[in-house]
Amino acid sequence: MAKVVPLFSGSRGNSYFIGSSGEGVLIDAGRSCKQLEQALELNNVRISSIGGIFVTHEHIDHCSAIKVFAKRYGIKVYGSQGTLEALEEGGKLDPAIHTQVISDSITVGNMQINRCNTSHDARESCCYQVVTADDRRAVVATDLGIMTDCVREIIKDSNFAVVESNHDVRMLKLGSYPQSTKKRILSDKGHLSNDSCASELSEFIKSGTLRLMLGHISENNNLPDLALNTSLNELIKANMRNGIDFTLATVPPETMGQSVIF
């Protein structure tokens, strides 16, 4: 039985477990090692079942636990060439940690992990699709300045997807962030807005991606209900009904013992 456990989501940290009761991988490892250990225990995920940590990019909210966690448990770290170089240069990897570049796809245990490049202000950012032993497919696609064709296709090829719905444009523009930060978030190398996310979802559902969650929701420039309603309103226009034609929810900042079967 394949499952996704969203451990953390948002600017304070991001991490997801994808796999089954016997094996799986982590997508990112934000927060501290202690917090990650506690979240895994709370969600009944055995650390011994984690076959690797797949890092999307080197920003601290996606990698802060790696240096201690990966060394403590002897877990291999995977990433693009650029991401692994940036982690090493930033002192975010312990020399004892085993790493491996993933250029396209790789097998870990009975799972296949596929990589797709993303548009973000990092060295060589990407997202990952995890294919389980029973051919169930899940993808986590956040930190997207724009929705590229590669990301669209890997989401359409999945049964479950976390898609970024980071900010409400009006809230961001009227908010307290410096203009330089607002410009970065709104750029093609920043984050996907509620409206941009909402405009994509109907095509994903038509392709058969019927279980969706909205992730990396900003605590300062968004609200979970606002993100959700923006997407649901677009899907209603397309005559699609939540809970009937698809399921859509938001990823909480911290998951309290909840997982998604897909």
| Phi and psi, residue 18, nearest 5° | -130, 130
Per-residue pLDDT of the chain (262 residues; tens, 9 = 90+): 899 999 999 999 999 999 987 999 999 999 999 999 999 999 999 999 999 999 999 999 999 999 999 999 999 999 999 999 999 999 999 999 999 999 999 999 999 999 999 999 999 999 999 999 999 999 999 999 999 999 999 999 999 999 999 999 999 999 999 999 999 999 999 999 999 999 999 999 999 999 999 999 999 999 999 999 999 999 999 999 999 999 999 999 998 667 899 9
The CATH number that applies at residue 85 is: 3.60.15.10
Provide the pLDDT for residue 1: 86
Burial of 48 (0-12, 13-18, 19+ CB in 10 A): exposed
CA atoms within 13 A on the CB side of 151: 24
Which residues constitute the domain of residue 60? 3-261
* pTM (2 d.p.): 0.97
| Phi and psi, residue 121, nearest 5° | -85, 65
The CA distance from 169 to 242, in Å, is 24
Rounded to 10 degrees, what is the CA torsion of 142, 145, 147, 151? -50
- How many domains in the chain? 1
